[in-house]
Amino acid sequence: DIVMTQTPLSLSVTPGQPASISCKSSQSLLHGDGKTHLYWYLQKPGQAPQLLIYEVSNRFSGVPDRFSGSVSGTDFTLKISRVEAEDVGVYYCMQTTQLPLTFGGGTKVEIK
Amino acid sequence: QVQLVQSGAEVKKPGSSVKVSCKASGGSFRTFDFSWVRQAPGQGLEWMGRIIPSLGVTNYAPKFQDRVTFTADTSTRTAYMELNSLTSDDTAVYYCARDAPSGGLPFDYWGQGTLVTVSS
């Protein structure tokens, strides 16, 4: 199985400040279709997860442009340029390149 | 707008089974493929597997392979997840999510979740 390791476990951020979450995969996520199937989700308190970023760096419909995704090898990063109160929750990365699909352990973002 | 509506909360005895449904509605017509994800209390997300109803294909995560069965009714766009031999470790919220194993965006829509409590 591909192991997805997220850091940090939690993050406390002042509104308006940036935040960065790392997700490392145990092997390459480059699929035979030429795409890298790495996704980011946000689970707000008491809600189901919601898709933020698909295929490493593409924002899903309606996702503010303060969210961005990038990759260096097997190290994936989600950045929030200016954290807002509505961004609190747990962020998960997920890979769909290989079965079984696997999630990172999650990063909890709180507001200071 | 796509909606996935799941069945209500369940309380089960250890050793019994639970069956959760997930009905899709709205959106343009396309074949709905479903994944099931569970979340134990205070824990992260865990993929259980998926069903591709149009192909009659299921993929189960190894951890659940022996205890879970996914079925679907294409006429009603409803998916079902049945988990057997329940233990207290199966107490969790179970989510269905629209999947896209053949391309597209996986898990772009989620059900509201179904809490399954296993207790004697």
- Per cent of chain B over pLDDT 90 is 77
Residues 45 through 74 of chain B touching chain A, CB cutoff 8 Å: 45-47, 49-50, 59, 61-62
Pick from A42-46, B10-14, B51-55: least confident: B51-55
Positive/negative CA dihedral, A74, A75, A81, A86: positive
CB contact at 8 A, B36 and B50: yes
Instruction: Report the residue of B2, B35, B45 to disrupt the A interface, i.e. the one with the largest count of A CBs within 10 Å.
Output: B45
Spell out the SS3 assignment of chain B: CCEEEECCCEEECCCCCEEEEEEEECCCCCCCEEEEEEECCCCCCEEEEEEECCCCEEEECCCCCCCEEEEEECCCCEEEEEECCCCHHHCEEEEEEEECCCCCCCCCCEECCEEEEECC
Which residues are CB-contacts of A76 (< 8 A; sequence separation ≥ 6)? A22, A23, A24, A25, A38, A56, A69, A70, A93
Give me the pLDDT at residue A52, please: 98
Higher pLDDT, A42 or B73: A42
Which one, of B59, B14, B18, B56, lies nearest residue B35 by Cα?
B59
Mean pLDDT, chain B, whole residue set: 93
Mean of pLDDT values over A65-91: 97
CB contact at 8 A, A23 and A36: no
Return the SS3 of A77: strand
B106 and A CB contact within 8 Å: yes
Q: What are phi and psi of A33, to 5 degrees?
A: -85, 5
Mean of pLDDT values over A34-47: 96
Residue of B nearest to A108 (CA): B44
Residue of B nearest to A107 (CA): B44
d(CA A2, CA A97): 9
Output Rg (C-alpha) for chain A, integer angstroms: 13
pLDDT tier at B102, thresholds 50, 70, 90: confident
Strand partners for B114: B94
d(CA A29, CA A6): 15
CB contact at 8 A, B120 and B14: yes
d(CA B120, CA B14): 6
- Per cent of chain A over pLDDT 70 is 100
Q: Using one digit for the tens of pLDDT, what is the confidence trace for B71-98?
A: 998 888 899 999 999 999 999 999 999 9
Q: Are strands A107-111 and A10-13 parallel, antiparallel or unpaired?
A: parallel
Give me the pLDDT at residue B111, please: 97
pLDDT tier at B31, thresholds 50, 70, 90: low
